Amino acid sequence: MISISRLAAVARKEFLHVIRDWRSLVMAVAIPLLLILLFGYALSLDLKNVPTMVLDRSQTPQSREFISLFQGSPYFEITRFTNDYKEMEQGLDRGDILVGLVIPDDFARCLLAGKDTSIQVLVDGSDANSARLAMNYVSAIGASFSLQVKAMRMQGRHISGNSALVDLRPRTLYNQDLRSQNGIIPGIVAIVMVVIASMLTSVTIAREWETGTMEQLLATPIRVPELLLGKVIPYFVIGMVDVALSVGLGYVLFDVPLRGSTGLVFGLASIFLIGTLFYGLMISIVTKSQVLANQIALLSSFMPSIMLSGFMFAIADMPWLIQKLSYILPARYLIAILRGIYLKGIGLEILLVNAVLLAVYMVLMIVWAHAKMRLVLE
């Protein structure tokens, strides 16, 4: 039976320690602010104003019409026209441009004769992600120009405008503007909890052993559940405050919509937070060293959550083995949940599997930490 008075005493002691250790308290508040600002402003997976050089060997109205599509696009910025192919290669070598367009001299002649023609596109592939995005944008503009040419050809042959062309009207769901912040900010909520929960609680029990206060606790009638819960409660409060800060800043600074239930966000985030808090406690119990516990927490929770949870990189693009390993990361499920609630407005009926897996993770961590904790001198 848990004694509420002993539990409250441990929690009060931990609260006082957090308040007196102003550096930890500042870090607990500053980390979510820093992550929101850094990832929100600095990390962008969009590509705009791609520096582009054009070599127009055709010099015809048709080639200028094609170039105008790039000039009117927000994704490209034509920084230079050249007549020298060598200069374009040097621009790519120096990194001055990312894309080079080479329009052949028979460009207009082929179009007017009803023949297909090709345009050479040079892309700097040293940054694979940017190169892939640039290629997609170029392909989209090329497809648009091809449709215009086909339309002109059909009109020249007096073909009815309703009989041949396929009218493609793509539509993006859930994130119509394709803003990367709409996907990043919900993920930051999970990352913030990983940082706060696992790294702060990973030193709590170890600190008691290193400062010699664990012996004083052992002299009291306190029980393991009372000690663990008392250690967790202050950091649970801090973690939920950080979640509220992250949600609020995401809405105010980056205008990220929260289409689903706010209560569901906090409810499922609290399950993940409890599991992560006990994971940090378990590390602290096992290592009994603040430095070692902090390093293990960093390597085993923060880094995998950043790299393998789908926060920054698509899991589907990862190697098969890494995809399978990502299933053991609870942050993967929380990020999927938060993006679903934020962008799709879906509820628990769709997110039930992920929510159950988070609950299983929470229970496993509680049981594991309880099993590892021994109130005896070693």
User: Quick one: tokens of 140?
Assistant: 């989209």
Write down the H helix ranges in the chain. Answer: 4-20, 22-37, 61-71, 85-94, 107-112, 128-156, 180-194, 200-201, 204-211, 213-218, 224-254, 262-287, 290-297, 303-308, 320-325, 330-339, 348-372
| Residue ranges of domains in the chain | 4-44+179-377, 50-156
3-class DSSP assignment, residue 126: coil
Q: In this structure, how many other beta carbons lie within 10 angstroms of the beta carbon of residue 281?
A: 30
pLDDT tens string for the chain (378 positions)? 778 888 888 888 888 877 777 776 777 777 777 777 777 776 666 677 888 999 999 999 988 988 998 888 888 889 989 998 889 888 887 778 888 999 989 888 888 877 778 888 888 766 656 677 788 888 888 888 888 877 777 666 544 444 444 444 555 567 766 677 787 888 888 888 888 777 788 888 888 888 888 888 888 888 898 999 998 999 999 889 989 988 898 888 888 888 899 999 999 999 999 999 999 999 999 988 888 888 888 888 888 888 888 887 777 667 888 888 889 999 999 998 998 898 888 888 889 999 999 999 999 999 999 998 887 766
Confidence at residue 300, expressed as pLDDT on a 0 to 100 scale: 86
Confidence at residue 128, expressed as pLDDT on a 0 to 100 scale: 58
Confidence at residue 371, expressed as pLDDT on a 0 to 100 scale: 92
CATH class of 50-156: alpha beta
pTM exceeds 0.85: no
Confidence at residue 201, expressed as pLDDT on a 0 to 100 scale: 85
Q: Is the dihedral of CA 189, 194, 200, 201 positive or negative?
A: positive
**Cα first-last separation, the chain:** 26
